[in-house]
Structure 1
Amino acid sequence: MAMEAHEIEKMIREAFPTAEVEIKDLAGDGNHYAATVVAEEFRGLTRVKQHQAVYAALKGKMDGSHGELHALALTTKVPA
């Protein structure tokens, strides 16, 4: 089952209230997205830890073949 971009954005914003979130549907199929997340909560975290935190915010929606979200190209940053 596909996910809507606004659902992904909502889950990320719930975990990172200060975040600027941009979601793009890459294939128009609701399964392949690119997300850019800029959040103060990432300060002091490695890029890997930032990505892990975002995936955790998605609460299992990307779990292998049973997930609702097939692919997420993720860019994370701290605010300038």
Structure 2
Amino acid sequence: MGEPTPEQVRAFIAAGLPCEHLEVEGDGRHFFATIVSAEFEGLSRVRRHQRVYGALGDRMREQIHALSMKTLTPAEHAG
């Protein structure tokens, strides 16, 4: 498989993490995601990012070279 599209990265995240809102932008190598999930409640920013990396699994190392993200709980997103 070649470089993933933003839509594919979005699908990868959504498959491993229940999200209320999920946007992914990128150019095939570098991506920016805005992720809103109730699973982030009570987690630090680092733990939230680890949760997303866990959802991506091996794809993070093999296909996605850079992922910047904003991780929010539903209350933070509504805020």
Question: Which TM-score applies when normalising by structure 1?
Answer: 0.83
* Stretches of structure 2 lacking an aligned partner (at least 5 in a row): none
Confirm or deny that 1:47 pairs with 2:42.
no
Structure 1 match to 2:7: 6
The Cα offsets for residues 32-59 of structure 1, whole Å up to 9 and x where unpaired, read as: 1100101111101111110001011111
Percent identity over paired residues? 36
1:79 corresponds in structure 2 to: 74
Is contact 1:37–1:77 with CA below 8 Å preserved after alignment?
Answer: yes
The DSSP-based 3-state class of the residue aligned with 1:13 is: helix
Q: CA deviation at 1:6?
A: 1.3
Residues of 2 paired with 1:48 and 1:77: CA distance? Answer: 12
Equivalent in the alignment of 1:32: 30
Contact persistence 1:3–1:69 (CA under 8 A):
yes
The count of corresponding residues between Structure 1 and Structure 2 is 74
Q: Taking structure 2 as the reference length, what is the TM-score of the superposition?
A: 0.84
Cα drift, residue 62 of structure 1? 2.0
> Counterparts of 2:11 and 2:60 in 1: how far apart (Å)?
15
Higher helix share: 2
Aligned Cα root-mean-square deviation (Å)? 1.2
